[in-house]
Amino acid sequence: MSKNRCFQFSRAITRSPAPTVVDGLRDGDGSDPDFTTFQTQHKAYIAALEKAGVKLTRLPQTAKFPDSVFIEDAAICLQDAAIVLRPGAPSRFGEAEFLRPVLEQHFSKVIDLPGDGTLDGGDVLLTNHHAFIGLSERTNQAGFDALASILLQFDYQSIKVETPSDILHFKTDCGLLDEGTIFATKKLAATGCFSDYRVIEVPEGEEAAANIVRINDVVFLSSNYPNSKKLLQKSGYNLVTLDISEPAKIDGGLSCMSLRF
C-alpha cells in the first residue's frame, strides 16, 4: 500500500461531455449548461489533472448517458482493483456496465457490486483507512453493505453516514485535503462522522466550494469562492482553482469528473 493511497495517484480516467449533457440530471429546474463552455471547462480540468502528474485515459463522449461525464459515480478505483458500481438514478443505470471494459484494461481485478443495492461513487470518500459512505437518494443500505464487504478486503473500514436530505451526494459537501484532514460544510460536519479527523469547515455562504479534490501535491477548488481560497491557502494547501460553472448547473463537481488511482 502506498503511504497515502487516498491522494497519491499516477493515473486517471475521464469521459468527455456529450451534447446531451445539457439534459443532465439536476435538483430543481435550473438552467441548462452551455455545451461549448462545458467543453472548455472540461478541457481545463483535464489539463489540470495532467499538470498534477497523472497520466490520463480520455474516453470519448457517449450521448446515450447525459451524465456520463461524471464518471466517478460509476466505479471506484483502488490501487489493485476496480469496483463496478450501480448508480442509483434510472437514467444512469447502464453507465457502470458501459465502463467495465475500460476498467478491465487497467485492472487485473474488476469486482461487480454484489446484490441489487444502488451506490454512486459520489457518495464515497476514501481516506487511507476509512471509506465514508453516505446514504442518499442514490445510495441505499444494500449498496452500503455490498461495498463495505468488498472494501474490507482492501483494508478499508467503512463508516455509514446519513447524508442530510437536501445534499445530493455525500461528497457534494466534503472533500479530502490530506490524509488526516477533511474540508466539509458545517452541516455535514455536524453529523459527527469525521470525529477521527481534523475538519476545516467551509466558510459560510460558500458551501458549494466543499467538493474539492486532492491530487498529489495540489488541491482542486472551484473558482469564485474567495474565502475558501484564502482559508485553504492560509492552511498551507497548494491550490488550483477551476471554473466549473457549467457542470455545477447539473450538480456536477470537481471530484466526479475523474476516476483516480
Q: Which is nearer to ligand GLY, 207 or 251 (CB)?
A: 251
Residue of 6, 42, 169, 193 with catalytic role: 169
Instruction: Please report how close the Cβ of residue 70 comes to ligand GLY at its closest, in angstroms.
Output: 5
Asked if 111 and 105 count as a contact pair (C-beta separation under 8 A), the reply is no
Instruction: Please report how close the Cβ of residue 68 comes to ligand GLY at its closest, in angstroms.
Output: 10
Q: Give yes or no: 6 in active site.
A: no
CB atoms under 10 Å from CB of 164, counted, come to: 16
x/- mask, ligand GLY, residues 177-196, rule CB under 6 A, reads --------------------
* Residue 25 engages ligand GLY in binding (rule: CB under 6 A): yes
| Residues near 71 by beta carbon (within 8 Å), at least 6 away in sequence | 13, 14, 15, 59, 99, 256, 257, 258, 259
Q: Which residue has the cell 475538519?
A: 199
Q: Which of 70, 144, 194, 237 binds ligand GLY (CB under 6 A)?
A: 70
Q: Strands across the sheet with 213-215, in order?
A: 213-215, 218-222, 239-242
Q: Give yes or no: 193 in active site.
A: no
Asked if 168 and 122 count as a contact pair (C-beta separation under 8 A), the reply is yes
Q: Which is nearer to ligand GLY, 61 or 216 (CB)?
A: 61
* Residue 33 engages ligand GLY in binding (rule: CB under 6 A): no
Phi, psi of 14 (to 5 degrees): -130, 165
Q: Which segment (55-63, 65-73, 102-110, 236-244) binds ligand GLY by CB under 6 A?
A: 65-73
Instruction: Please report how close the Cβ of residue 23 comes to ligand GLY at its closest, in angstroms.
Output: 10
Instruction: Please report how close the Cβ of residue 96 comes to ligand GLY at its closest, in angstroms.
Output: 13
- CA dihedral (74, 92, 188, 117) in degrees, to 10, reads -80
Phi, psi of 124 (to 5 degrees): -125, 120
Query: How far is the C-alpha of 245 from the C-alpha of 76, rounded, in Å?
Result: 25
Q: Site residues for ligand GLY, window 199-258 (CB under 6 A)?
A: 250-252
* Residue 81 engages ligand GLY in binding (rule: CB under 6 A): no
List active site positions. Answer: 169, 256
* Binding interface with ligand GLY (CB under 6 A): 24-26, 67, 70, 73, 89, 250-252
